Chains A and B, each alone.
Chain A
Amino acid sequence: MDDLATLVRRLVAETLVVDAERVGPDTALMAELGAESIDFLDLVFRLEEELGVAIPFDRWSRYLANRFPAQPVEQRLTASVVKEFAETMLQEAAGSVPPRDTLDGARDST
């Protein structure tokens, strides 16, 4: 999945208009790079185009609520999280994971 990591890094850099060198896997996109909520809408739109998959409009917010239940995301939202989201979207598109609503029922423990 190195290709995906590289793609995410590039898209994050384009979305936030920063040099790609500033985007490490653990860089906090909000706290360190100044991302705001709408930047993630922009980022998901770009992922959708690059990956060639349709991502429902509220998929990102549901993913985050699931991944970080009742936790502030300022420090936690990293490029790695975006990459994991992208992986999940690819798997869902390929039909290799259960339908989205079922998946959202089971919260992971990160």
Chain B
Amino acid sequence: MNERVAITGVGLVTPIGVGADAFAEALFAGRSGIGHVTAFRCEGLETRIAGEVHDFDPVRWVDPPKTAKLLSRAAAFAMAAASMARSMSGLSPDHVAPQRIGVSIGAGGMGPTDIELLALQAEAVIDSARDIGADRFDVPAFARRYRAATNPLAMLKGLPNCAAAHVAIQQGARGPNNTLATACSAGTQAIGEGLRQIQRGDADVVFAGGTDAAVNPVSILGFSLLGTLSRRNEVPGAASRPFDRDRDGFVVGEGAAMLVLERESVARARGATVLAELAGYGVTCDAYRITDERPDAGEAARAIRLCLEDGGATASDVGYINAHGTGTHMNDIVETRAIRQALGTAADSVGVSSTKSMIGHLLAAAGAVELVAAVLALRRGLLPPTINLDTPDPECDLDYTPWVARPRHLDAALSNSFGFGGQNACLLVRGW
């Protein structure tokens, strides 16, 4: 008999709130966290809106304080979220050996895109051109300027695994330490792989989640050039409109969510309060085109079916799906097809919503934040809404919970994530 895996703590840093209580309040009230970008000046950019985390002070979450200078914004988010999750779980060092604690984090591009480092590099380019009296990029001249102006520690902010490494130091987690870099499905896959770490016996407790901080000029411009971002700059709160006929792309957000996953016997032995069971995980890859999804949604649907099978659930057990729901034409239609294929007739009665309508797209953190939204829905018996959904796209014909949260008793819920590159991932949570 396989032991179940419990979720015993969650921590969040999001554009709609820091901490589970603030997050839940905004989530069920349908409040948008999207606004005009304040992190940098963006006159002239096609997209000037994002979901930012305001007033975040990394020093509050780290010990010793000098750790803060090593952190990218994304790593700091992850540490804050892990700290909150631990605190909620009540897990103490007496309950589990450090060697039995793992970390599994979905992460995106880190330090090199933090705006301070960008500015430093840009100044070194400008100064180096001046040094050689030329208006071109010269690597040796740049290297001299960069070397003189750059703190050696800057490199450490850019390592993609730095969030997972700092969480391990903070939490005393000496077990398996994994970082997944699978773009927009990374958070979901990190939690799924964390589940597997416990199931295969490599760890008893795993800090699992995702983190990303892409509100910087390079990432905003990059997604903008790919044609994926909303340009509704005038009314930021109305910009993220998944499944709506008038949507025009997603809105970048930043933040993190971390969960404490715990082997059933460990959670029981210490009398932990269990929020939900992490019951299933399914993952596939389209192996099709780098950003296009398979129009038949076959592999996305298979990820959902695998997840249900893995969790020993049937389609009719699922009362809520937190959709990937980015608000791009392709995602909304293909995801709708995938849900219909995977759930069959049960798709007509399932409650669906895209909380990205409020939070924005947190990229590598998205799946983690959204799984927490599904856990909260399960606990409260309340479906979070899809705000801004005025006129559903004719090809989007599920019940997307428009605008207002709706009460519904839930036995189980799913959370979908799909990433550039073709990864399709799905998680199942169930009442304990």
Contacts and interface: CB of A to CB of B under 8 A. Distances in A.
Contacts, number: 27
A57 B147 CA distance: 9
A42 B153 contact: yes
A43 B66 CA distance: 12
A34 B69 CA distance: 14
Interface residues of A, number: 12
A11 interface: no
B69 A42 contact: yes
Given A42-B151, A45-B151, A16 B66 contact: yes
A51 interface: no
Nearest to B144: A54
A36 to B, nearest CB: 9
Contacts of A17: 64-66, 68-69
Interface string A72-102: 0000000000000000000000000000000
A34 B64 CA distance: 8
Nearest to B70: A38
Contacts of A57: 147, 152
Nearest to B151: A45
Interface residues of B, number: 12
A104 interface: no
A20 to B, nearest CB: 14
A54 B144 CA distance: 11
Contact of B152 (A16, A18, A34, A41): A41
A30 B68 CA distance: 18
Chain A facing B: main interface SS:
helix
Contacts of B156: 38
B418 to A, nearest CB: 38
Contact of A39 (B65, B66, B147): B66
A17 B58 CA distance: 13
B269 interface: no
Contacts of A15: 66
A38 B64 contact: no
A16 B66 CA distance: 5
Interface in B64-120: 64-66, 68-70
Nearest to A40: B152
A40 B152 CA distance: 10
Contacts of B147: 57
A40 B64 CA distance: 16
B153 A38 contact: yes
A69 B151 CA distance: 27
A34 B148 CA distance: 27
Contacts of A34: 64, 66
Given A18-B66, A38-B70, A42-B151, 18 more contacts: A15-B66, A16-B66, A17-B65, A17-B68, A17-B69, A34-B64, A34-B66, A38-B152, A38-B153, A38-B156, A41-B152, A41-B153, A42-B69, A42-B152, A42-B153, A45-B152, A57-B147, A57-B152
27 contacts: A15-B66, A16-B64, A16-B66, A17-B64, A17-B65, A17-B66, A17-B68, A17-B69, A18-B66, A34-B64, A34-B66, A38-B70, A38-B152, A38-B153, A38-B156, A39-B66, A41-B152, A41-B153, A42-B69, A42-B151, A42-B152, A42-B153, A45-B151, A45-B152, A54-B148, A57-B147, A57-B152
Interface of B: 64-66, 68-70, 147-148, 151-153, 156
